Amino acid sequence: MRQLVVGSRRSKLAITQTKQFIARLKEIDPTLDIKIKEIVTKGDQIVDRQLSKVGGKGLFVKEIQNELFNHSIDMAVHSLKDVPSELPEGLTLGCIPDRENPFDAYIAKNHVPLDQLPDGSVIGTSSLRRGAQILAQFPNLEIKWIRGNIDTRLKKLHEEDYDAILLAAAGLKRMGWSDDIVTSYLDADLLVPAIGQGALGIECREDDTELLNLLQKVHNPDVFECVSAERTFLKEMDGSCQVPIGGYAKKVTDDEIEFTGLIMSPDGKRRFQHTIKGSKGIELGKEVSRILKEQGAYQIIQSLNEG
């Protein structure tokens, strides 16, 4: 096979998970010649503003997609939660590999449990989804914006005015952080994850048959079906980083998936959530979207997207 060039964001986490995926490919075929091309995206350049204030979709993928169209890379390893629900014509997700822990990690000073934080305690997160869900259940707490990579956020927790922070568990695990650093993992009953959280999406040109055949060897069809429910829900609800939207699907039997979709107002005061079971991810995503729209959830999205 030809030499393959993989596009990746320049962040430490992005490079690490790209190397891990390359290692997985080389388990299949040790003769593969693969190199990484680092690409700086718009989302990486914006470090002084909350991403929800910037607007738009694809803040972490557009420049990488351009490199695919230019044939300067053959594929890209994305955190799936960064990938818009609709891809440009000519590109496809060649595979969805095994999923890491999809939940959020709660890390507190002195490991104080979330439900024991004193009134007015400050939790750092850059996610409207996380902030809204925390405020809904713990209105006595304060949410404060925080940006930066894992190392930066952990440093800010101990050096700045934060009592706790929330991070994606998958990033911590891929970077090799010990479970000891985590006060608790917040499952979907407490904090519905982001769409696709913990999963990778391997994007390539849809006419690259040779590469697509290779990628199918590390494809996980069960994870694909689950994230299809989540991404369909995102698409149907016209979700973006300006909207507190969550979705999580899991296999409950060999042929049945349980999917929960969530839409909230940023202040946590309005919540629309529904859970159903079925066998087809896309159908589940569409059905939960239909139900939440009937309940009035789309009004929140429209007002946030227009604002």
**Residue ranges per structural domain of the chain:** 4-97+199-219, 104-186, 236-306
Domain 236-306 has CATH 3.30.160.40: yes
Q: For 104-186, which CATH superfamily applies?
A: Periplasmic binding protein-like II (3.40.190.10)
* pLDDT on residue 93: 98
CB 138 within 8 A of CB 114: yes
Q: What is the pLDDT along the chain (307 residues), one digit of tens a residue?
A: 889 999 999 999 999 999 999 999 999 999 999 999 999 876 555 555 555 554 555 667 889 999 999 999 999 999 999 899 999 999 999 999 999 999 999 999 999 999 999 999 999 998 999 999 999 999 999 999 998 889 999 999 999 999 999 999 999 999 999 999 999 999 999 999 999 999 999 999 999 999 999 999 999 999 999 999 999 999 999 876 678 999 999 999 999 999 999 999 999 999 999 999 999 999 999 999 999 999 999 999 888 877 6
Which CATH superfamily is 4-97+199-219 part of? Answer: Periplasmic binding protein-like II (3.40.190.10)
pLDDT at residue number 148:
86
Residues labelled as active-site residues: 82
SS3 144: strand
List, in order, residues 6 or more apart from 236 with CB less than 8 Å away: 285, 286, 289, 290
- Residue 28: is it exposed, middle or buried by C-beta count within 10 angstroms (0-12/13-18/19+)? exposed
Q: Quick count: other Cβ atoms within 10 Å of Cβ 228?
A: 21
| Helix 221-236 / helix 281-295 crossing angle, nearest 10 deg | 30
What is the torsional sign of CA 60, 62, 63, 67? positive
Token pair listed for 59: 């803040």
Confidence at residue 55, expressed as pLDDT on a 0 to 100 scale: 53
Contacts (Cβ under 8 Å, ≥6 apart) of 103: 169, 185, 186, 187, 188, 191, 193, 197, 198
> What per-residue confidence (pLDDT) applies to 205?
98
CA atoms of 107 and 31, how far apart (whole Å): 41
Q: Do domains 104-186 and 236-306 have the same CATH topology?
A: no
What is the DSSP-derived secondary structure letter of residue 136? H
Instruction: Map residue 231 onto helix, strand or coil.
Output: helix
104: left (phi over 0), alpha (psi -120 to 50) or beta: beta
DSSP one-letter string for 161-194:
S-SEEEEEHHHHHHTT--GGG-SEEE-TTTSPPP
